[in-house]
Amino acid sequence: MRYLIVFVFALLMPLLTQAQTERELLDQLLQEEKNSVEALVLYPEQTRRDILEACLHPEAIVKLESMQSKTSEAFKNLMQGYAQETQELIWDLTRYPGLITKLTMTTGQSDNEVRAVLADYPAEVHPKALEARKYYFDILLRVDELNEQWRRTFDNLIRDYPAKTQDALRQLVELPEVLTLLSDGIRMTVMVGDLYRRNPAWLMQQLDSLNLVVAREHTKEIEDWKAGLEADPEAKAEFARSAEDFAREYNYDDSYYPYDDVYEGGEVREVVVEHHYYHHYPYWFGYPYWYTYPRWRPYPVWYDWGFYWGPGHVLVIIDLPSYYYTNWYFYDPHHHYYYPQLSSHFTRHYYGHRHHGGSITAGVDNWRRNNREIITDEWLDKARYDKEKFREYGKFEASREKYNQSHPTKAMTPTEYLDKNKRQYPVLAKERPQPAQPEKEIRKDKEVMPPVQKPRTEPAPKKDPIVIPPKTQPKEPRKETPTPKTQPEKKAPAEMPKVDKARDYHRDKWEQPQATPKKETTTPKTEPRKEAPLPRRSQKKETTVKRKD
């Protein structure tokens, strides 16, 4: 009997060891790539299976990424020389499968015949398609050639893989956010593929369980975000004003995304939710270069806000603000000056959900890391209850930005500028991280201390008035002429955390809006600000949200 027990234990030991190793690998993966994995598990089950199948062949992901970089570069080169308005027009048409090909086949046909061709596409894209066919037909022909070229290359690339893998890759091409995530995090892709190869059933079970956990955490965070804003009316009012700043700056056209109004003439009407499929930019052409953040699917403005205006002009929260919005908010110091209570509120929410990886958490965490030179953990902990700290920080960074623009050859880092202007920003100067003290040099015979240098005496810096640099002027309306223009200068994107991309990818594809916004966004009535020494940047033209009749 004893020998039988030993024999059975010897047989089970490798399996137990293997299971333990797989669990350790999964735990390591969740620790290193937690937010990316969480974004992937929130996709439907069939999409998760396609992702796992693709992870079995990480070299295919690398090949696709290499091919995509070439095709997207070719497309951008094709667009060079045309005004950005023209580029936006063509880029938008590429989002509708087969549309450009059909337009190139309408030579010699009347507008009515072309409209018949467009019958299978949403009505909102018809005017743009007719304009492009009339003025930019040559560009459409060349774009169609690029389309056909990448299709042939893609088919040749995947033809040697098993049929199951080919099907998975074809499905993922329609999810460019996923392919980009897998190629950017190739180490994660290799680890997931290894786990799936070892024990596919076990890994699927673990991902199913994680799916439930992440979904519950996300729901809980939304509820906390709603409750927090209700308990902080000042932050709520600033949130509404900042959202309208966001809409004006990005020139949203909500008539392009029609929806039903729920409040008209003082009466609440029956709510009719109309779902829309937000077509993505093609993976092979990439998302437009003028976006400072990966944005594969344009959404209406209220999607990025995470709220809409309900009956009686009541702000109704439906989700967290998007990564696109939080990135925009935290990387402009003017927002922290004009909306300091909102900045503090974001920080309080961050401290309650640091381990989840939502859009607010990622926005605060990335801003925090990028400002380690002057922002300490102690400062941030206090700032969530003291909005004046954020106001001082916003004024400091706006002033530094103005100085660097006026002195491009003598641009200062945050620490350098703070050293020169300590009296103007006393709290930042007092609570900034202290430089590490030099270590003592130890000798066998005695201890030698580093020489003490006499401090330099400098005159107190002059207090110049702070003037906020103006924002970029609004773009001119599209000129109906095919004459090429100079390629607009590309704005250098801010460094984005991988976690931001991961969560936004999920939201872009699967989290469709579940409520209907109002017909017009108007600024909520709030008390006028008592202090505004810094002039606002010039705003782009205000966008009016249209209602679908």
Task: Pick the closest to residue 182 from 493, 501, 512, 508 (CA basis).
Answer: 501
Query: Helix 126-135 crosses helix 137-158 at what angle (to 10 degrees)?
Result: 110
**Does residue 316 sit in helix, strand or coil?**
strand
Task: Pick the closest to residue 251 from 501, 547, 549, 539 (CA basis).
Answer: 539
> Which residue bears the tokens 């390629």?
487
Question: Please, which residues bridge with residue 268 across strands?
Answer: 263
> Which residue bears the tokens 């439907």?
44
CA distance 484 to 96: 24
> How many C-beta neighbours within 10 Å does residue 520 have?
13
- Low-confidence spans in the chain with pLDDT less than 50: 1-20, 253-277, 441-449, 452, 454-469, 471-503, 505-506, 508-530, 532, 538-549
**Is the sign of the CA dihedral 152, 156, 162, 165 positive or negative?**
negative
pLDDT given for residue 496 in this prediction: 41
Structure tokens at 350: 């961050």
pLDDT given for residue 15 in this prediction: 39
pLDDT given for residue 440 in this prediction: 52
Q: Does this model's pTM top 0.75? A: no
Question: Please, which residues bridge with residue 314 across strands?
Answer: 310
> Which residue bears the tokens 């009515």?
112
pLDDT given for residue 24 in this prediction: 78
Task: Pick the closest to residue 25 from 217, 165, 206 (CA basis).
Answer: 206
CB 324 within 8 A of CB 177: no
CA distance 52 to 42: 14
Task: Pick the closest to residue 281 from 465, 447, 152, 90 (CA basis).
Answer: 90
Structure tokens at 341: 């209570």
CB 196 within 8 A of CB 52: yes
CA distance 147 to 90: 13
Structure tokens at 460: 């107190």
Q: What is the dihedral of CA 396, 398, 402, 407, to 10 degrees?
A: 50
pLDDT given for residue 3 in this prediction: 41
* DSSP letter string, 141-198: HHHHHHHHHHHHHHHHHHTTS-HHHHHHHHHHHT-HHHHHHHHHTHHHHHHHHHHHHH
**Does residue 352 sit in helix, strand or coil?**
helix
Question: Please, which residues bridge with residue 448 across strands?
Answer: 441
User: What letter would DSSP give residue 482?
Assistant: -
Question: Please, which residues bridge with residue 317 across strands?
Answer: 307
Q: Which residues contact 433 (CB under 8 A, 6 or more apart)?
A: 372, 373, 374, 376
pLDDT given for residue 318 in this prediction: 86
CA distance 368 to 345: 15
pLDDT given for residue 437 in this prediction: 56
pLDDT digits (tens, 9 = 90+) for 331-361: 899 999 999 999 999 999 999 988 777 889 8
